[in-house]
Amino acid sequence: MAIAYYTAEGLKKLKDELHNLKTVERPKISQQIAEARDKGDLSENAEYDAAKEAQGLLEARIAKMEDLAANARLIDETQVDNSKVYILSSVKIKNLKNNAVVEYTLVAENEANLAEKKISVDSPIGKGLLGKKVGDIAKVQIPAGLIDFEVLDINR
């Protein structure tokens, strides 16, 4: 599995969710399986089958999250250079087509959340902005066509 970069906040969320799956969700499913088993004949027990399937899905999710946590690397926010757009940069950009100004923070794919104005460095806009300086024009290919964004400000 590839290395994934996290902010301290993002890594804590990942570890908290993994802890919850192991300590809360796993025992819940074990209890459901035990209750279904107590109801008798397992060959025609839909509750048992459903609980076993849920257990399989949960264990797969736990395994995936354990891999993510094992390959997670924490980004040292004090080492982020503000002269260019990098991961963790908050960047104010202007759409040169309609003059709309927006501000985004570039984050790792797994922390992207448009509602919080956090976009992935792997998104078309994120890729277009990486390495740009204040005053640079980023040409970004989106499904609607090519859009030019001017970098107005970069900060942390």
For the chain, domains (ranges, CATH) are 4-74 (1.10.287.180), 77-155 (3.10.50.30)
Q: 143 in helix, strand or coil? A: coil
**If we measure between CA atoms, which residue out of 56, 4, 115 comes closest to residue 13?**
4
Instruction: Kindly report the length of the chain.
Output: 156
| pLDDT score recorded for residue 81 | 64
**Calpha distance 151→129 (Å, rounded):** 8
Q: Comparing 31 with 77, which gets the higher pLDDT?
A: 31
Given a contact cutoff of 8 angstroms between Cβ atoms, the answer to whether 74 and 88 are in contact is: no
Geometric angle at alpha carbon 106, from 155 and 91, rounded to 5°: 35
Burial of 56 (0-12, 13-18, 19+ CB in 10 A): exposed
Is the pLDDT score of 1 beyond 80?
Answer: no
The model's pLDDT over 20-66, given as tens digits with 9 standing for 90+, comes to: 999 999 999 999 888 888 877 767 778 888 888 999 999 999 999 89
